[in-house]
Amino acid sequence: MATLQDIAEKLGISKGTVSKALNGAPDISETSRKIILETAVEMGYTKLHRQKDVPKKLCVLIENIEYEEPHHFGYDLIMGFRQLAEPAGYQVDVLPFTEKLQKLTPYDIFMLEHDYVGSFVLGFSLSDPWMKDFQTSRTPAVLYDNYIQSNPNTTYIGIDNNEGMELAVEHLKNLGHKKIGYLSGALGAYIMQVRHRAFFHALRQNGLKSDPTYAGSSYYISECMQKHLPRLLNLGVTGLICSHDQIANAAIVQCQQLELHVPKDISIIGFDDLPISAYTSPPMTTVRQERAELGKCAYYALDSLLNKVSIGTMLLHAQLIVRNSTGPLVSET
């Protein structure tokens, strides 16, 4: 591991100047500081083993996910992470992030500049600028629902979506449904691509026909409802799996407006088990993401990366929560 002295020698400057730059002293010019930071990152310098008395800092980088209140999706994820990280002596900062902020500074530089030794990354889409940085970054990053191939400093955590989708399809099949449709959010997110593939894989695993016309995806829930849902109903779909509880909830409401009974006419399954999903009408059958456990997994993974055990993927078992939005096929006469 590079030391301050190594960096100083490489740049032909004093160790004191390097130290000042890395600690944000005001008497170092912005240009010098930038060069020193970049060189430090390049040489693999880390603050992980320095300053024994100062708590080490981790950050949660969060985008597109609400987290401030208990009913928000991100709340338990962060709480589970904190529950293990803080007793282990880490300070955890939660940083709401945007594409714009990512464009200002490369990931590794940002982390070194702010003394963060590792991050838990939530809600980034494939088009986020730092998703490119993560392909070669050196500072440990655990990404929720995003997979980076071949960078030993990153871990993908999430639930096992294949397992979840198989549980959902199997449940519908056991209820007698054979024509099963799928409504999904936009496929610009890694996790939406994974669930989309998992849906067709689960159909095949259950001996059902896998036909791409039985799926529809859109960024806008309204478009899913107005364009794809009527099309799937026309195809004779009696079971419907949705990539998110919000879509499933919209589909329940929309079907009811079309005077279809849920679940007598159509069974609907969501994904996530958001807190509200127990209170939809009817209460929703859904694949649960144990968010507090996922937060704990994120800490396990980050701790491993910091200890140079390079976990690439860590998936929680999926669980199907059966409520009243699914029921036996009432065969048409």
Instruction: Give the separation between CA 128 and CA 63, rounded to whole angstroms.
Output: 10
Interaction between residue 86 and a second copy (CB under 8 A): no
User: Which one, 78 or 316, has the nearer CB to a second copy?
Assistant: 316
Which of 163, 245, 272, 273 touches a second copy by CB under 8 A?
Answer: 163
User: Which one, 44 or 236, has the nearer CB to a second copy?
Assistant: 44
Tokens of 246: 């919000």
Interaction between residue 229 and a second copy (CB under 8 A): no
Interaction between residue 151 and a second copy (CB under 8 A): yes
Q: Is residue 158 within 8 Å of residue 316, measured between CB atoms?
A: yes
Which of 103, 230, 310, 330 touches a second copy by CB under 8 A?
Answer: 310
* The amino acid at 319: Q
Interaction between residue 135 and a second copy (CB under 8 A): no
From residue 287, alpha-carbon distances to 224, 245, 290 in Å are: 20, 9, 10
From residue 131, alpha-carbon distances to 194, 304, 330 in Å are: 17, 21, 47
User: Which one, 91 or 151, has the nearer CB to a second copy?
Assistant: 151
Interaction between residue 136 and a second copy (CB under 8 A): no
Q: Please report how close the Cβ of residue 84 comes to a second copy at its closest, in angstroms.
A: 9
Segment near a second copy (CB under 8 A); pick from 24-32, 123-131, 225-233, 317-325? 317-325
Interaction between residue 317 and a second copy (CB under 8 A): yes
Tell me which residue has tokens 């456990």: 293
Number of residues that bind a second copy (CB under 8 A): 25
User: Which one, 246 or 285, has the nearer CB to a second copy?
Assistant: 285
The answer to whether the Cα torsion of 215, 129, 57, 307 is positive or negative is positive
Q: Tell me the per-residue interface mask from 268 to 307 with a second copy, x by CB under 8 A, - otherwise.
A: ----------------------x--x--xx--x---x---
Tell me which residue has tokens 């507090």: 292
Q: For residue 207, is it left (φ>0), alpha (ψ between -120 and 50) or beta?
A: left
Which of 160, 206, 265, 282 touches a second copy by CB under 8 A?
Answer: 160
Contacts of 101 (CB under 8 A, 6+ apart): none
Q: Please report how close the Cβ of residue 133 comes to a second copy at its closest, in angstroms.
A: 17
Interaction between residue 150 and a second copy (CB under 8 A): yes
Which candidate, 98, 104, 107, places its Cα nearest to that of 127?
98
Which of 29, 31, 149, 331 touches a second copy by CB under 8 A?
Answer: 149
Instruction: Give the separation between CA 219 and CA 272, rounded to whole angstroms.
Output: 18
Which candidate, 328, 326, 329, places its Cα nearest to that of 286?
326
Interaction between residue 8 and a second copy (CB under 8 A): no
3-state secondary structure string across 45-65: CCCCCCCCCCCEEEEEEECCC
Alpha carbon of residue 157 to chain centroid: 7
Interaction between residue 206 and a second copy (CB under 8 A): no
Rg of the Cα atoms in the chain = 24
Instruction: Give the separation between CA 145 and CA 202, rounded to whole angstroms.
Output: 19
Q: Please report how close the Cβ of residue 297 comes to a second copy at its closest, in angstroms.
A: 6
Contacts of 274 (CB under 8 A, 6+ apart): 71, 73, 245, 246
Q: Please report how close the Cβ of residue 76 comes to a second copy at its closest, in angstroms.
A: 13
Interaction between residue 31 and a second copy (CB under 8 A): no
Interaction between residue 210 and a second copy (CB under 8 A): no
Interaction between residue 314 and a second copy (CB under 8 A): yes
Interaction between residue 203 and a second copy (CB under 8 A): no
Residues near a second copy (CB under 8 A):
149-152, 160, 163, 166-167, 290, 293, 296-297, 300, 304, 309-319
